[in-house]
Amino acid sequence: METQSVYETDDEVQALALQEALESEGIAAVLINHRDTAYPGITDRQRHGTEIRVEGAQVQKATQIIEEFLAAQPVEGPPIAPPPSSEPAPAVRGPGWLVITLLMLGLLGVVAYILNAK
């Protein structure tokens, strides 16, 4: 039977996941990686992605499964931060770490001076 292309992606992992989703629904899917140089003449050198092909009679069902699969996937990218609050940030109470560190170094210096004086 003749196969038809139903989807193409640059993400090979996504192509494998889609192939698995199609095969779990009983649709035989073939992946053609156009970057693969092992089969000269079989792949199209003008294309750079991974193509998913299914039998001609199953194109409509496969397209629907792929659309549902992609719609269920989370959106990639950095998380969107919530808008900043209009309330002022809480103030830091007590001495900061710099003050505490300076006090500890001063105390250490006093102890060293006393020990060297004896």
What is the CATH number for 41?
3.30.70.1530
Burial track 60-90 (b if 16+ CB lie within 10 A, e otherwise): eebeebbeebeeeeeeeeeeeeeeeeeeeee
Residue 52: inside a domain: yes
- The whole-chain average pLDDT of the chain stands at 82
Count: domains in the chain:
1
Residue 33: inside a domain: yes
pLDDT tens, position by position, 14-47? 899 999 999 999 999 998 887 766 655 555 555 6
Residue 20: inside a domain: yes
Range of the domain at 59: 3-72
Residue 118: inside a domain: no
Find, among 65, 58, 47, 63, the residue nearest to 3 by Cα: 58
Residue 58: inside a domain: yes
Residue 85: inside a domain: no
Q: What pTM was computed for the model?
A: 0.56
Check residue 44 and give left, alpha or beta (phi > 0: left; psi -120 to 50: alpha).
beta
